[in-house]
Amino acid sequence: MHKAGIIGASGYTGYELIKILSKHLKVKLVVLNSKNYAGKKVKELYPDFDEDLEFTDYPIEEINDMNLDAVFLAVPHTTAMEIVPKLKCKIIDLSADYRFKNVKEYEKVYKVEHKDKDRKAIYGLPELFIEEIKKARIVANPGCYATGMILSAYPIQEIAEYIIYDCKSGWSGAGKSSVYARDSSIIKDNLIAYKLVNHRHKYEVEQFIKSKISFTPHVIDTFQGMMITAHALLKKKEDVEKIKEKYREFYKECKFTHIVDEIPDLHAIQGNNKCLIGGFEIDENNQLVIVTVLDNLLKGASGQAVQNMNIMLGFKEEEGL
């Protein structure tokens, strides 16, 4: 049995990791670090949890002495870069601290100095980098929007002049301390646009999608689930069936990303690790519309993190998922 730990276990993504790893047949969850809830049972914070695990607050030195196989960092941006250099095991970082190949780009986007400039991580999108993830010690788990945006457009980026992403996410993506978590009336029966331009995930995506892109996110009145509608202005006339076949071929070996004939919706992905890509219609203006859905807490965060751990430790990719 392999041993795993979570640092930052009490937030939404941390709790999703606890739920998955507590049922994982090849992993024993031994570290559930939370400074605010150490010593309390998980079910005190999340009453739907049906096991007797407690939050912990082990120092890094003690975690290293436990000889863990993998640690998940579900901590705020800028915190991971303080922890990663101290850990001796494999690491899956759910923050943005190691997502950028170019540290200067990270510093520009997040407006902070990176304190671990020389250490590199593998970008944890298995559909693109599974072979690199197998050999990695540190994996940077992608952002939720970035996951859907990259997967929705990667196969057609060479034929698209410009891609506009219209994205909508459940309010859990804003985190446990967000205004939506504190006051549900703000989002009830509502739809809220924010960061109309220059969202951080845009620059994360631009590392992999070479077409010009624009991106506007919205929060919708649901807890989890995300829809990415990609409007791709094509360079020339294309056959939509050939485009769909290109997608099917590109993702045919993928365990969780699937091409569908219909327009997918959130009910198909809430509570699981799937990414569904569908729609595929071209209008009279030579605009291709692709609709992609995933669960922002699972394929967009914790589920994908466990998927990465499985690959790193040599398990079946879908183990526990």
Residues with catalytic annotation? 144
Cβ proximity of 155 and 292 under 8 Å: no
What are the start-end ranges of the E strands in 150-286?
Answer: 160-170, 191-193, 212-220, 226-234, 257-259, 275-282
Place of tokens 């250099």: 85
**If DSSP codes are grouped into helix, strand and coil, which group holds residue 281?**
strand
CA angle 230, 231, 237 (to 5 degrees): 125
Single-letter code of the amino acid located at 231: H
Question: What gap in Å lies between CA 306 and CA 321, rounded to an integer?
Answer: 8
Question: What gap in Å lies between CA 272 and CA 253, rounded to an integer?
Answer: 18
Single-letter code of the amino acid located at 263: I
Which DSSP symbol is given to 265? -
Q: Output phi, psi for 195, to 5 deg.
A: 45, 60
Place of tokens 């304190």: 115
Question: What gap in Å lies between CA 194 and CA 226, rounded to an integer?
Answer: 15
Give whole-number Cα distances, 300 to 96, 227, 277, in Å: 13, 11, 14
Alpha helices in 12-110 (DSSP H): 12-21, 42-45, 60-65, 80-83, 103-110
Write the CB contacts of 48 (distance below 8 Å, at least 6 apart in sequence): none
